[in-house]
Chains A and B, each alone.
Chain A
Amino acid sequence: MELVLPMTMTFAGDRDATEAELVAACRRGDEAAFAALVRRHQHRVFGLASRFFRRREDVEEVAQETFLAAWRRLDTYEARAPFEHWITRVCLRRCYARLDAERCRDAPLPAAEPAAPEHDPAVGIDVERLLARLAPADRFVLLLLDGEGWSVKEIAERVGWSAANVKVRAFRARHRLRRVLEEDR
């Protein structure tokens, strides 16, 4: 049985309310204000999570976990940067944690999944299989660098790592990708 709550759950002045007003209302426990925040940022969170996960269920789960974590930890948001940056960071951490958990579980590559648009037969590269052979940290950094097109500085700011750390991880990730491609020939 599916709950039908927030169809009627609208924050007064949803469209006009500033981010700060919505966040303040959320901190007072206003669920309608939180629903408004979710509506505003759901596409961004989905877009980011879908960089790392192929299956819709995984993307959905990470997106839900991101917003639930945001609701629980909203008191840690200091409003020095836009809310989008903060929610991006929360989402990235959830993605990384899930990638890491998948590695621990040694989840098999879903080879039988239908319609893999990344696999271009003309090029002969199945990027999904390629990524599966990389460590989660390498996959994570490569997808942010080449997938999202972020700079080292942007990754450092949004993930909360130091720039030097991102550089080292990026170097290692590219090196391992090269090795995997060489082995693949």
Chain B
Amino acid sequence: MTGRRAEDGVGGRTDGRLESRLDEVRRLLRDHHAGIEPDPHFVTRVMARLPRDASWSITWAARRILPVSLACAMVLTLALLAGGRAATTATASGAASVSASAASAGAGDPLEWLLESRGEYR
């Protein structure tokens, strides 16, 4: 009985000491490393490490360039269409002028009377 009581006493003392050490650890943990602050250039370093993805840059550039390229394409298409129409008109008017000149040539041939009066001279 006395031995048991003595053992309890030692155990209790030991547990008490352990508890106080645990409390101390908790107190130390509260102050653990609290105090490392960023330096003024931290933001600079983070920004320098931002991934500037090549595909993202290409997409961004394409988005920027797209309206300009569309406008250029439209202008080129319009120019081509206008050029084509002009060429067609020019061709048509050329043909007309050829036939007209042929007709007029037929009408105003100074030697036509020779053909018409061919029989008369036989």
Contacts and interface: CB of A to CB of B under 8 A. Distances in A.
Contact of B32 (A46, A51, A56, A181): A51
Contacts of A54: 33
Contacts of B118: none
Given A34-B47, A38-B43, A64-B49, A177 B36 contact: no
Contact of B51 (A38, A60, A72, A185): A72
Nearest to A53: B33
Contacts, number: 111
A129 B26 CA distance: 14
A120 interface: yes
Contacts of B28: 118, 120, 123, 125, 127
Interface residues of B, number: 31
B contact patch SS: helix
A51 B36 CA distance: 9
B36 A64 contact: no
Interface in B19-67: 21-22, 24-26, 28-38, 41-51, 56, 60
A94 B80 CA distance: 60
Contact of B38 (A42, A149, A178): A42
A123 B47 CA distance: 44
Interface in A51-70: 51-54, 56, 59-60, 63-64, 67-68
Contacts of A49: 36
Interface centre among B17, B36, B50 (most CB of A within 10 A): B36
Given A38-B43, A127-B28, A46 B36 contact: yes
10 contacts: A5-B47, A6-B43, A29-B56, A50-B34, A50-B36, A64-B46, A117-B31, A118-B31, A123-B28, A143-B29
Interface of A: 2-7, 9, 29, 31, 34-35, 38-39, 42-43, 46-47, 49-54, 56, 59-60, 63-64, 67-68, 71-72, 117-118, 120, 123, 125, 127, 130, 142-143, 146-147, 149, 177-178, 181-182, 185
